[in-house]
């Protein structure tokens, strides 16, 4: 019985008798014959398992394996990663090194010591090592600084026909990999434009507005991703085109910029910025909205960016619904030319993988087509608190909320500065505010804030659904954490009012609300921060019709495409890899793919032969090409590679791996590669056992005299037994009876059997001599027969350098002293692998002293 089944039965017994106080072992001892509570339950099995593509990825990501590779160095780390991408092992990342941890993760829970699992796996051939190395190649993304070194003052982040990547790759890669070794391979990701910058002469005029629906794609936008493995992509779900970004199933930190063309706002009186957003699978707040007036068009990390994010609302609970994120007043930049950027930051390792979609980006004068319905607005220009209820809970009258004026601007202020003790002051919206349905637009609550002499957090922002006129009896929800409340300056006041954020009221649709600003300070304990509030607003925004100006905007800049190239280091310099190509994003589109990758539903095996025929029309017979491409599976896109050969008409994929069987054995709790196998051929007449005996019979039928396979009584030819070495498939035992084989079969084949005549003699020594001669001869014959049979049964077993591969076959002997009813294996026979699928007999031995063939007791 399997160990896990026994445990399950014991668990059921425990449940059944726990109420009666009965001991489980007492029950088992009474009702289960042979039960011993002190004996460990074992489950020793001999299993076979074939690796799947997903298993190779598991091997590569296994924590134990990664630790082994890291200890061995960077090359080992890269080789282990290649196991997951190439879907095979290699000389640099062997199955013998990395399969034990994989087996421990899958079989340790129930298989006991002594168990063997023979794993069928793919191993890269010597020819394929280059392909495996290509699949494991790191991708280097050309940086803004790299482009700057190419173009100087010209703000271009792409290569062109006049300035191709090939002319600069060696310098770029040498700087990026100063310690590269000969043979290193890198994939270079870069932008390319068929047009040169400023082709019309002079400086390209800046656009005066943006009205982007992405119907024309992403060409009007600059994508900067540095070393990130993800990127901004064009999404076309349900016919709605948008810019999409996510860190889901990526490796390492993701820092991705989507940057607009320069926009000249000098002719605008009241410029605004608005856009729509959709958020899916929210795990973190990862999107920032930024503006810059000094961006050089190449390196965003060198520019000054002002964060506009607090002017917009990003509510992950909207779960895949489009809404207008907000309207930002851009009047501060109406004398400037600006760049607007959407910056995504995430990291799958930290579960920061939110997916954002951006659409209908509008910037400029009279461009924004969003209806802004104010449900509540307070600028304090009326110089009163008519819209508010002031609640003095503690402190002096002059330490409560009050209207102040500075530089002609009115605002509300509160502070405990100078107070004798505690101050608690509430500013509560007087009239109820009903939040409209989401279909009428996204409703948000926000305000501007300025801080003075910060020394403690004293302000809370609260919301209530049941407030009437008593703050102490109402139920309040604290939403302070949804706003950005500065904790500076410690001396003086902030330079200006800043948006604190926009709180989404999505989940309050249809409800009636009150808002409150609650100040709690203490003049005696230095909790006296001054807060100033202005422009408090609850509004509902709904998108009107946006008309795309993407095509017009695209004319002001070169249309760029992301491309890839493969480079290798020869020990001195970097050059394009010979006989190597990589499928580029536009190639997938030409092949009819909706995404820039292959997948299980868009097979590379179908399209790569056509791709190669199109790309290399003048290929000659026997030309070889290594092809790198991106493949999507299990939520992740990885680099893979194959080798193809041209036969003069078509390109055919090379078999770049061989299939091997690797036996692994569990010893002392650890799995180890053990190419030597123990084959238990039990006398149970099972198909497995019969297969060994039948292989022996078949070989004798084909290679030995017919007398050894002819029934001595009927004269008919036997097909399931042979008496050259005694194999009987029908009985699944070895018939080594001295009174049978020599007399009825060996003699019929013309052999001299006189050496065995004294087997029944009363002269014990003479009898012993006959037995010894017989056993020596039949053992030699069986070694010959089983060596050939193993070659038939295991034709693909290969030699392993430095390791003796021994196959031990355990069988039951039927002799004059060992009866046919023994019912278990009695002897072991060892065979050594001497070539692929070829074995050589080594020795035999009894599995127990009672089965020793020449023991004295047999001759007494």
Residues 684 and 789 in one domain: yes
Q: What is the pLDDT of residue 106?
A: 83
Range of the domain at 727: 677-859
- Residue 732 to residue 689: CA distance in whole angstroms: 6
Percent of the chain with pLDDT over 70: 91
d(CA 219, CA 198): 16
427 and 523 co-located in one domain: yes
Q: Other CB atoms closer than 10 Å to residue 390's CB: what's the count? A: 14
Residue 64 lies in a domain: yes
pLDDT at 43: 67
The CA distance from 351 to 246, in Å, is 11
Residues 740 and 811 in one domain: yes
DSSP 3-state percent helix, strand, coil across the chain (nearest 5) = 25, 35, 40
Give the pLDDT band (50/70/90) at residue 633: confident
> DSSP letters along 341-371, please?
EEEEEEEGGGTB--EEEEEEEEEETT---EE
pLDDT band (50, 70, 90) for residue 484: very high
Q: How far apart are CA 831 and CA 827, in angstroms?
A: 13
Domain check: are 787 and 840 in the same one?
yes
* pLDDT number for residue 775: 97
User: How much is the pTM?
Assistant: 0.57
Domain assignment of residue 157, yes or no: no
Same domain, 707 and 723: yes
Contact 826, 851 (CB under 8 A): yes
Burial 523-561 (b: 16+ CB within 10 A, else e): beeebbbbbbbbbbbbbbbbbeebebbbeebbeebbebe
The pLDDT value recorded for residue 28 is 44
> Is residue 7 domain-shared with residue 82, that is, in the same domain?
no
Does residue 17 carry a pLDDT above 70? no
Is the Cβ–Cβ distance between 451 and 489 less than 8 Å? yes
pLDDT score, position 550: 40
Q: 110-138 burial string, b = 16+ CB within 10 Å, else e?
A: ebeeebbbbbebbbbbeebbbbbbbbbbe
Q: What per-residue confidence (pLDDT) applies to 555?
A: 36
Residue 152 lies in a domain: no
Please tell me whether residue 466 adopts helix, strand or coil conformation: coil
Matching residue, tokens 């009012």? 497
What pLDDT, on the 0 to 100 scale, is given for residue 678?
A: 85
Q: What are the φ and ψ backbone dihedral angles of 178, each rounded to 5 degrees? A: -65, -20
> For residue 190, what are its two tokens?
């870069």
Chosen domain end from 342, 368, 394: 368
pLDDT given at position 308: 97
For residues 709, 711, 716, 718, the Cα torsion angle rounded to the nearest 10 degrees is -40
Say how far apart CA 568 and CA 282 lie, in whole Å.
Answer: 40
Binning pLDDT at 50, 70 and 90, where does residue 227 land? confident
Last residue of a domain, one of 640, 674, 708: 674
Say if residue 796 is exposed, middle or buried (CB neighbours under 10 Å; 0-12, 13-18, 19+). Answer: exposed
Query: Has residue 67 got a pLDDT over 80?
Result: yes
Same domain flag for 343 and 485: no
Q: In the prediction, which pLDDT does 15 show?
A: 32
- Residue range 686-694: average pLDDT? 95
DSSP β-bridge partners for residue 602: 599
Query: Quick one: 335 and 387 in the same domain?
Result: no
Does the pLDDT at position 143 exceed 80?
A: yes
* Average pLDDT along the chain: 88
Give the CATH number, domain containing residue 320. Answer: 2.60.120.200
State the DSSP H helix or E strand holding residue 792, giving kind and residue range, or none if neither.
helix 764-793
CA angle 530, 534, 537 (to 5 degrees): 135
Residue pointed to by tokens 């001869």: 777
Considering the domain boundaries, does residue 223 fall inside one? yes
Percent of the chain residues past pLDDT 90, beyond the cut: 67
Question: Which pLDDT score is estimated for 270?
Answer: 93
- Lowest-confidence segment of 17-21, 76-80, 222-226, 473-477 by average pLDDT: 17-21
Residues 493 and 635 in one domain: no
Strands 733-735 and 806-811: unpaired
Could you tell me if 596 and 588 are in contact, meaning their C-beta atoms sit under 8 angstroms apart?
yes
Q: 112: Cβ–Cβ under 8 A, 6 or more apart, which residues?
A: 3, 42, 43, 44, 666
Q: Which of 537-546, 703-712, 723-732, 734-743 has the lowest mean pLDDT?
A: 537-546
Min mean pLDDT across 487-491, 668-672, 842-846 is at 668-672
Q: Is residue 448 part of a domain?
A: yes
Mean pLDDT for 681-693 is: 94
Which of 133-147, 392-406, 679-693 is predicted with the least confidence, judged by mean pLDDT?
A: 133-147
Per-residue pLDDT of 490-501, as tens digits, reads 999 999 999 999
- Name the residue with higher pLDDT: 594 or 274: 274
Same domain, 227 and 364: yes
Distance from C-alpha of 651 to C-alpha of 292, rounded to nearest angstrom: 51
Residue 677: per-residue pLDDT: 82
The string of pLDDT tens digits covering residues 147-174 is: 889 998 887 888 999 999 999 999 999 9
The whole-number pLDDT of residue 665 equals 84
In a domain, 690, yes or no: yes
Where do the DSSP E strands lie in 481-611? 498-504, 512-522, 530-543, 560-569, 574-576, 580-582, 598-599
Do 254 and 230 meet the contact criterion of CB atoms below 8 Å apart?
A: yes
Residue where a domain stops, chosen among 306, 338, 368: 368
- CA-nearest of 190, 150, 88, 156 to 576 is 190
Cα-based angle 563, 209, 540 (whole degrees, multiple of 5):
105
Contacts of 734 (CB under 8 A, 6+ apart): 725, 726, 727, 728, 782, 811, 812, 813, 814, 827
Q: Are residues 170 and 571 in contact, defined by beta-carbon separation less than 8 angstroms?
A: no
Two tokens, residue 298: 């190449």
Residue 553 predicted with pLDDT over 50: no
b vs e for 51-77, b when ≥16 Cβ sit within 10 Å of the residue's Cβ? Answer: beeebbbbbbebeebbebbeeeeeebb
Domain co-membership, 698 together with 638: no
- Strands (E) across 125-267 are located at 138-141, 185-193, 210-212, 222-224, 233-237, 240-245, 253-259, 263-264
Q: Distance of alpha carbon 251 from its chain centroid, rounded?
A: 8
pLDDT digits (tens, 9 = 90+) for 293-305: 999 988 899 999 9
Query: What is the total count of domains within the chain?
Result: 6
Per-residue pLDDT, 797: 85
370, pLDDT greater than 50? yes
Beta strands 827-835 and 838-846, pairing class: antiparallel
Q: Dihedral, CA atoms, 103, 104, 106, 108, nearest 10 degrees?
A: 130
User: Quick one: tokens of 157?
Assistant: 């982040």
Lowest mean pLDDT among 178-182, 568-572, 602-606, 850-854: 602-606
The neighbouring-strand residues paired with 183 are none
User: Which among 82, 85, 64, 63 has a CA at the least distance from the CA of 74?
Assistant: 82
Name residue, tokens 């493995």.
Answer: 229
* 12: confidence class by pLDDT, cuts 50, 70, 90: very low
Report the range of poorest mean pLDDT among 63-72, 233-242, 380-389, 714-723: 233-242
* pLDDT tier at 32, thresholds 50, 70, 90: very low
- Report if residue 423 sits inside a domain: yes
Q: Output phi, psi for 373, to 5 deg.
A: -100, 110
Are 670 and 684 contained in the same domain? no
Q: Is residue 417 part of a domain?
A: yes
């Amino acid at each position: 019985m399997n160990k896990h089944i026994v445990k399950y039965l014991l668990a059921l017994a425990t449940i059944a008798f726990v109420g009666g106080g009965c001991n489980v072992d007492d029950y088992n001892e009474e009702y289960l014959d042979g039960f011993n509570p002190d004996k460990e339950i074992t489950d020793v099995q001999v299993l076979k398992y074939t690796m799947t593509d997903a298993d190779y990825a598991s091997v590569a990501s296994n924590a134990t394996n990664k630790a082994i590779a890291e200890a061995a160095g960077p090359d080992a780390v890269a080789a282990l990663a290649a196991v997951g991408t190439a879907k095979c092992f290699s000389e640099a990342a062997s199955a013998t090194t990395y399969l034990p941890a994989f087996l421990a993760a899958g079989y340790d829970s129930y298989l006991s010591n002594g168990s063997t699992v023979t794993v069928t796996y793919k191993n890269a051939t010597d020819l394929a090592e280059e392909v495996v190395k290509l699949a494991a190649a790191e991708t280097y993304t050309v940086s803004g600084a790299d482009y700057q070194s190419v173009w100087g003052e010209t703000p271009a982040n792409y290569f062109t026909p006049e300035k191709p990547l090939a002319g600069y790759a060696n310098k770029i890669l040498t700087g990026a990999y100063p310690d590269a070794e000969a043979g290193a391979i890198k994939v270079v990701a870069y932008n390319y434009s068929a047009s040169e910058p400023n082709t019309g002469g002079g400086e390209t005029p800046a656009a005066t507005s943006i009205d982007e629906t992405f119907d024309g794609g992403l060409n009007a936008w600059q994508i900067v991703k540095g070393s990130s493995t993800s990127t901004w992509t064009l999404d076309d779900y349900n016919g709605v085109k948008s810019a999409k970004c996510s860190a889901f199933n990526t490796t390492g930190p993701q820092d991705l910029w989507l940057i607009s063309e320069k926009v000249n706002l000098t002719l605008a009186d009241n410029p605004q910025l608005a856009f729509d957003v959709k958020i899916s699978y929210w795990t973190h707040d990862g999107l920032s909205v930024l503006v810059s007036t000094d961006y050089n068009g190449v390196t965003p990390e060198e520019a000054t960016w002002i964060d506009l994010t607090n002017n917009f609302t990003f509510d992950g609970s909207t779960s895949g619904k489009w809404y207008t994120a907000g309207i930002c007043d851009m009047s501060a930049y109406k004398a400037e030319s600006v760049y607007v950027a959407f910056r995504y930051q995430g990291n799958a390792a930290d579960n920061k993988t939110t997916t954002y979609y951006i659409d209908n980006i509008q910037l400029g004068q009279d461009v924004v087509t969003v209806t802004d319905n104010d449900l509540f607005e307070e600028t304090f220009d009326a110089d009163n608190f008519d819209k508010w209820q002031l609640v003095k809970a503690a402190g002096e009258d002059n330490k409560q909320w009050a209207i102040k004026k500075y530089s002609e601007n009115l605002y509300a202020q509160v502070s405990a500065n100078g107070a004798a003790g505690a101050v608690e002051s509430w500013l509560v919206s007087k009239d109820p505010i009903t939040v409209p349905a989401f279909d009428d637009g996204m409703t948000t609550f926000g305000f501007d804030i300025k801080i003075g002499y910060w020394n403690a957090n004293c302000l809370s922002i609260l919301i209530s659904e049941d407030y009437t006129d008593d703050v102490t009896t109402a139920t309040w929800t604290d939403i302070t954490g949804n706003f950005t409340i500065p904790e500076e300056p410690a001396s003086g006041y902030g330079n200006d009012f800043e948006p604190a954020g926009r709180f989404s009221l999505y989940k309050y649709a249809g409800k009636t609300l009150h808002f409150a600003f609650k100040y709690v300070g203490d003049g005696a304990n230095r909790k006296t921060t001054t807060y100033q509030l202005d422009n408090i607003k609850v509004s509902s925004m709904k998108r009107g019709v946006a008309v795309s100006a993407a095509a017009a905007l695209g004319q002001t800049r070169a249309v760029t495409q992301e491309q890839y190239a493969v480079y290798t280091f020869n020990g001195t310099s970097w050059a394009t890899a010979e006989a190597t190509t990589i499928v580029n994003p536009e190639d997938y589109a030409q092949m009819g793919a909706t995404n820039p990758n292959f997948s299980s539903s868009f097979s590379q095996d179908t399209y790569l032969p056509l791709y190669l025929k199109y790309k290399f029309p003048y290929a000659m017979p026997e030309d070889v090409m290594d092809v790198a491409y991106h493949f999507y599976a299990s939520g992740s896109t990885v680099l893979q590679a194959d080798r193809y050969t041209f036969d003069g008409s078509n390109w055919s994929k090379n078999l770049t791996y061989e299939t091997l069987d690797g036996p692994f054995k569990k010893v002392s709790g650890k799995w180890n590669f053990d190419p030597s196998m123990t084959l238990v051929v039990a006398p149970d007449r099972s198909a497995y056992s019969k297969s060994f005996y039948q292989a022996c019979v078949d070989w004798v039928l084909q290679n030995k005299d017919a007398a050894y396979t002819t029934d001595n009584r009927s004269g008919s030819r036997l097909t399931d037994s042979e008496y050259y070495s005694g194999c009987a498939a029908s009985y699944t035992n070895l018939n080594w009876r001295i009174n049978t084989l020599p007399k009825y079969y060996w003699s019929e084949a013309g052999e001299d059997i006189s050496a065995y005549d004294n087997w029944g003699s009363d002269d014990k020594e003479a009898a012993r001599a006959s037995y010894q001669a017989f056993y020596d001869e039949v053992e030699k014959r069986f070694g010959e027969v089983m060596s050939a049979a193993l070659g038939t049964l295991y034709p693909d077993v290969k030699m392993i350098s430095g390791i003796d591969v021994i196959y031990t076959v355990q069988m039951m002997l039927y002799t004059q002293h060992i009866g046919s009813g023994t019912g278990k294996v009695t002897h072991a026979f060892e065979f050594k692998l001497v070539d692929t699928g070829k074995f050589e007999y080594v020795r035999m031995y009894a599995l127990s002293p009672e089965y020793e063939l020449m023991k004295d007791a047999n001759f007494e």
